[in-house]
Amino acid sequence: MPKITVNNAETGENHVIKIGYGANLRQAIGYTDAEIYKGANKLMNCRGMGLCAKCIVEVEPADNANPRTFFENLHKVEPEQRLSCRVKVYGDLTVKTGIQD
């Protein structure tokens, strides 16, 4: 089972979770006390459809996640960032959340 270390840039909180191989990052973090969204985006987002680009996270190493998707290219997400709703986890990751305002 991949281990995910979640670092929230807004609050400074750290969480370590284990999720299944190939699991969706946004859904997996949603089942824990860790937070993806910053500010009002907690309530006003597209609920994982890839339309709002409010769930932007920084993922390291990028090799342990699936390749970038159409939605990430459509929203012109920075090269080191990903949409958590589009990330499938294939190994241990360090995720920085709470960066999109």
Over range 36-50, report the average pLDDT.
Answer: 92
pLDDT at 99 over 90: no
Domain enclosing residue 31, as ranges: 3-97
| CATH number of the CATH domain containing 8 | 3.10.20.30
User: For the segment 63-81, what is each residue's pLDDT rounded down to a tens digit?
Assistant: 999 999 999 999 999 999 9
**Residue of 64, 54, 69 whose CA lies nearest to 90:** 64
For 15-42, what is the mean pLDDT? 94
Mean pLDDT of 20-44: 93
β-bridge pairing 3-8 and 93-97:
parallel
> What average pLDDT is seen over the chain?
94
Domain count, the chain: 1
Percent of the chain with pLDDT over 90: 89
pTM: 0.92
Say yes or no to pLDDT of 101 above 90: no
Cβ burial, residue 30 (10 Å; 0-12/13-18/19+):
middle
Instruction: Please name the residue that has the structure tokens 């973090």.
Output: 29
Tell me, what's the pLDDT at 39?
86
